[in-house]
Amino acid sequence: MEDNLHEWCILEYCHISTFIPTSNIYFTNLSKTAESTLLDIKKLQGVNFFTNHIIDLNFAKDKICLLDPSSKNILKPEDGNEFEYFLFGGILGDDPPRDRTCELRKHGFKTRSLGNMQMTTDTAINVTKRVVEDKVAVDQIPYIDFPEIKISAQESVIMPFRYIAVPHPNQSTLQTTTDELKLNLVPLLPEGMIELLKKDGDMAFEF
Ligand SMILES: C[S@@+](CC[C@H](N)C(=O)[O-])C[C@H]1O[C@@H](n2cnc3c(N)ncnc32)[C@H](O)[C@@H]1O
């Protein structure tokens, strides 16, 4: 878990609580400061917070699957039967990626990949849920890679990640063809992310 909780992380963590029940979410290896910040966030009420490292908690290691972009094995719907816990690096993406997931890999967990494109943490968790719970294959989920987000009349920011693609929220429900739908797909971003990008601009990638 990041020591320093950037606003970006907090938006991603709150987003996770919109598709995973908070009692099923565990944050481990939190610094005391990060723990007290997160404890005050209403949307995260019910989340299990630990300052201990995952290795020091009593989870059966062979029931934990580390989501690791460099794994040779792609996550499959049947992995939902083998594993009870899915472990993600609570770290921000960088461009180019610095492979900070290695901090967890070195403990020898079994690993699965969601493909070779770097996803944001909330996206990786959402994709994992769709695969192991909703039983959808990783390559059957619609994605948008490197979306360009307009932050003012003249400026836009390219997000160097893969996101789940969803229909534009203002799209007419009368549209019927797949092609029309595709044209109106937008990346599934945490609530408040566009406003944060407008505030931070390109600075958002300089962590
Ligand atoms: C934003 S990513 C951090 C990536 C970081 N730059 C790195 O290279 O390790 C946060 C976490 O999401 C998960 N993740 C992101 N993309 C993934 C992918 N394509 N396959 C598997 N896990 C992924 C990993 O658990 C990763 O630690």
Summarised one tens digit per residue, pLDDT across range 81-112 is 999 999 999 877 777 888 888 889 999 999 99
Whether the CB-CB separation of 81 and 136 falls below 8 Å is answered with: no
Does 126 sit in the ligand 1 pocket, CB within 6 Å? no
Q: Per-residue pLDDT tens for 17-73?
A: 999 999 999 999 999 999 999 999 999 999 999 999 999 999 999 999 999 999 999
Confidence (pLDDT) at 25:
98
Ligand 1 contact via 68 beta carbon (within 6 Å): yes
Q: For the chain, what percent of residues have pLDDT higher than 70?
A: 90
Hey, which of 121, 141, 163 would you mutate to test ligand 1's pocket, going by the most ligand atoms within 8 Å of its Cβ?
A: 121
pLDDT at 2: 72
pLDDT, one tens digit per residue, over 103-139 is 899 999 999 999 999 999 999 999 999 999 999 999 9
Q: How far is the CA of 99 from the centre of ligand 1 (A)?
A: 8
Q: Can you give the pLDDT at residue 206? A: 45
Residue burial 29-66, b: 16+ Cβ < 10 Å; e: rest? bbeeebeeebeeeeebeebebeeeebeeeeeeeeebbb
| pLDDT for the residue numbered 196 | 92
Tell me, in angstroms, the distance from the centre of ligand 1 to residue 200's CA. 23
**pLDDT tier, 180 (very low <50, low <70, confident <90, very high otherwise):** low
Q: Please give, one letter per residue, the 3-state secondary structure of the chain.
A: CCCCCCHHHHHHHHHHCCCCCHHHCEECCCCHHHHHHHHCCHHHCCCEECCCCHHHCCCCHHHEEEECCCCCCECCCCHHHHCCEEECCCCCCCCCCCCCCHHHHCCCCEEEECCCCCECHHHHHHHHHHHHCCCCCHHHCCEEECCEEECCCCCEEECCCEEEEEECCCCCCCCCCHHHHHHCEEECCCCCHHHHHHHHHHHHHCC
Class (C level, CATH) for 7-205: alpha beta
Where is pLDDT greater, at 180 or 155?
155
Domain boundaries, the chain: 7-205
| Structure confidence at residue 90 (pLDDT) | 81
Q: What is the mean pLDDT of residues 146-152?
A: 90
CA of 120 to the centre of ligand 1 (A): 7
